[in-house]
Chain A
Amino acid sequence: MSRSPSSDPFLRRLSQRTRHAMKTASLRLFVLAPLGLLALLGACAPATRVTLLPQASGTPSAVEVSTGKGSRLIDQPYQVANVSRRGEVSQDSTTADRVREAYPRLLALQPGAPERFVLEFEPGTSQLTAESQAQLDTILAQARARAGGEIVVTGHTDRQGSLEANDTLSLERARAVRALLIDRGFAAERIEAVGRGEREPVVPTDDEVAEPRNRRAEIVVR
């Protein structure tokens, strides 16, 4: 791997021939451009390039890139899968700096992490507690501060009652909160009410157990 010019006459001649070949190659290219250029490049430049970024949480992740000719799993941050026009997949790697250079706007436009709130209800009702009522203004302020801000209200129940009945009850709770937010002037099409029923308790219990802490609405502002 020495980089010093070779003193071996054979190698020197070889390198001159390579230089000559390069010159012809580039000359031919310029003649071909622009008509043949795209086709030529298509054969070489990857037709698709997939770059795995680190997860904000630091948890492991992966993507699998598949074509008719095979597939490749990349599972380390900054690994790259390149796909040629002919569908061959090869692996490469990049760095945080090179990604910043190649895709500045994909990084710049990334929205901030969603904000989360938990609202609680008076027992057996869709009526928010006074403390939770007081949080609504904070939620609205956060949503208005974001470009295209949205509010997702997800209602939850405890495990008392049937799954179906709890789906309905949780959706009613979410809709009640949504109505309050619309009343305060937030755009209705950017507030979604979701009912998750008894599927996501904060305090796990057996079925048919009353647990006030599980009767709640979770708010995501994004």
Chain B
Amino acid sequence: MRLSFTPCLLLALASAAPLAFAQAAAPAPEPAASAAAAASSATRIGTFKQVEGDIWVGRADTRRTPASGDGVRVAERVSTGQTGAATLILKDGTVLTMGPNTTMDLSRFQFDSTTQEGSFLLDLLQGSVRVVTGLLARINPDLFKVSTPTSVVGVRGTDFIVETQAAP
């Protein structure tokens, strides 16, 4: 067991500095921009709380810099640069906190506030996000997912951090 880690340890020792650089410089994946996705819904699904540094909502040339109190819509991409970080609260009370160099898509958000039924899918493409789950995960735990290029995270009512490297 210990042996199998040795090459990794060597790599880590030999390349600590380049690694930090590589992560910072890792390009965000090509935006799969589609007019349909951008225009899919005008409904606000969440609100920006704290907003710091470089941060954008939307894809490519149509992206905007949000301010505290601004809304976010389903299917939108939110990304931060090296100085960026932000907190969003979604309609069901789910709190998403993004770290620097992070790109995520709010791929699916359905929430009926009367019955509290719905579903949620966050695609974390790169970087780190902290998730404190709200009503959706309490009522529909099997329909609340955070997905990364390599895995899917399902919840049982929680506070957790997901960090991922961009897909190669």
Contact = CB atoms under 8 A, between A and B. Distances in A.
Interface residues of B, number: 60
Contacts, number: 198
Contacts of B99: 103, 105-106
Given A87-B151, A111-B87, A148-B50, A187 B69 contact: yes
Q: Chain A: interface secondary structure?
A: mixed
A49 B99 CA distance: 14
Interface stretch (A33-41, A119-127, A176-184, A210-218): A33-41
Contacts of B13: 26
B161 A41 contact: no
Contacts of B12: 44-45
Contacts of B15: 29, 33, 37, 41
B71 to A, nearest CB: 7
Nearest to B5: A44
B18 A51 contact: no
A63 B70 CA distance: 30
A65 B7 CA distance: 25
Which of B26, B44, B68, B150 lies at the interface centre, i.e. has the most chain A CB atoms within 10 A of its CB? B150
Given A64-B154, A167-B114, A25 B86 contact: no
Nearest to B87: A109
Given A99-B161, A105-B100, A50 B153 contact: yes
B91 interface: yes
A8 interface: no
Interface string B124-168: 000011101000000000000000111111111111111111001
- The 7 A-B residue pairs whose C-beta atoms are closest, nearest first, are A44-B8, A26-B14, A61-B158, A148-B69, A106-B130, A105-B85, A194-B113
Interface of B: 7-8, 10-15, 18-19, 22, 26, 44, 47-52, 68-71, 85-87, 89, 91, 93, 95, 97-100, 113-115, 128-130, 132, 148-165, 168
